[in-house]
Each structure stands twice: as C-alpha cells, then as structure tokens.
Structure 1
Amino acid sequence: MDCYVYYRVASHNADAAHRAVAQVFALTAARFGVAGHLQWRADASAHDTAAGTATWMERYDGVDPAFVAALPRLAAESGLMAFIDGERHTECFVDTPPPCA
C-alpha cells in the first residue's frame, strides 16, 4: 500500500515545516524502516495563492496499516503540526490486480 499525506503550509512557516518533515522522515526510517518523500504542488491552487500557502505532500511507498496508524503520532512528535494550516489528510492506495487472462 502507498500512502499520501497532504496539507497546507504558509510561506512564512516553510523552513520550520521542512525541518519538521525531515524529523518525521527520521522517525519513520528509525521505527519502521520506511523512507518518506516530500513534494509540493507544482501548480498553486486558487486557495493557496490567496492564502499565501503551498500544498505539501508526504509520500510513503509499500507501507502497512500499522505504519499509517502511527503517522499522526509521528507528525505530532516532530512538531510539524505547529507549522501547518488546517488538517493533514491521509489517503492510501493499493495496486490493482493484473487483468485476468
């Protein structure tokens, strides 16, 4: 299962949020052996432009439900929650099975 976590970060919080995400990734690597990837939205939404924010996304590949359940606790532990606007949204996807022959 691959997991995507997205949220908004105000431009004035970007540096601190980036450091906090690095801490989240250190925690996921140490506790679960999972590497995270940070991305941000390439085309700013109208909301982001008006609010002075950017949409960021953490991506985790090949994780299990226990990892997904731990993510909110790791985000809080890293201090990330102090630097985001609104909530973190988590969505997980699995690969589709190959078509039957």
Structure 2
Amino acid sequence: MVDLYVYYKVRDEDAERLAHLVCALQTRVIQPGHARLLRRPESKDGLQTWMEVYPDVPESFAATLEDAVAGAGLDGLLQGPRHVEVFTEIPPCA
C-alpha cells in the first residue's frame, strides 16, 4: 500500500466550482472519508495551491485516479498540470 499526494494550482475564482468536482471525483474513486482535499491558506497572484491526499491505497490506485480525472471536467479549471507523488511507509525503528 502507498500514500498518494496530488497537488496543483487553481484560480481563486474557480475554487468553489473545482471543489465540487473534486469532491464528486473522490466519492467515485474511493470510500467516503478516506480521501482529503487540502489547500494552502494563502493565495499568490490569484492562485491557490491544492492537494488531494489518498492514504493507504493500492499501488494501482494512481492509474484508477488518472482515468477518473480524465472524465471529471477538471482540465479547464486547473492552472498547469496535476503533480502526483507516491510515498511508502518506512518500517518503525523501534
């Protein structure tokens, strides 16, 4: 299992509309309450930085998410690409 982090930028004026689309997307791809949608508290030059967090998902989930994003209607609301980062847990030291 891995943790998946996806970050991207959105214009202030598109934030509310995008939030609805991302929440609907998350509901379709993973059980409710398992994903998180975060944003940095400040905007810079009219842009917000958002992050989707998918903890403890199978490695194949990244492909599932990519397919879902393709049909979710997010493209026109994003400023630049979605950046996907995958992290694995390090076994405890003690």
**TM score, norm. by length of structure 1:** 0.81
Q: How does 1:77-92 map to 2 (within 5 A)?
A: 77-92=71-86
Number of corresponding residues: 92
* % identical aligned pairs: 34
Moved over 2 A (4+): none
**Structure whose CA Rg is larger:** 1
What's 2:28 paired with? 27
From 37, 46, 49, the counterpart of 2:44: 49
One-letter code of the match for 2:6? V
What's 2:37 paired with? 38
**TM score, norm. by length of structure 2:** 0.86
Displacement, 1:82? 2.0
What's 1:7 paired with? 8
Displacement, 1:80? 1.6
Give unmatched runs, 5+ long, in structure 1: none
CA RMSD of aligned residues (A): 1.6
Measured against aligned partners, the alpha-carbon deviations of 1:71-94 in whole angstroms (never above 9, x if no partner) come to 122112221222110000000111
CA contact (8 A) 2:8 2:49 kept: yes
Give unmatched runs, 5+ long, in structure 2: none
* SS of alignment partner, residue 81 of structure 2: strand
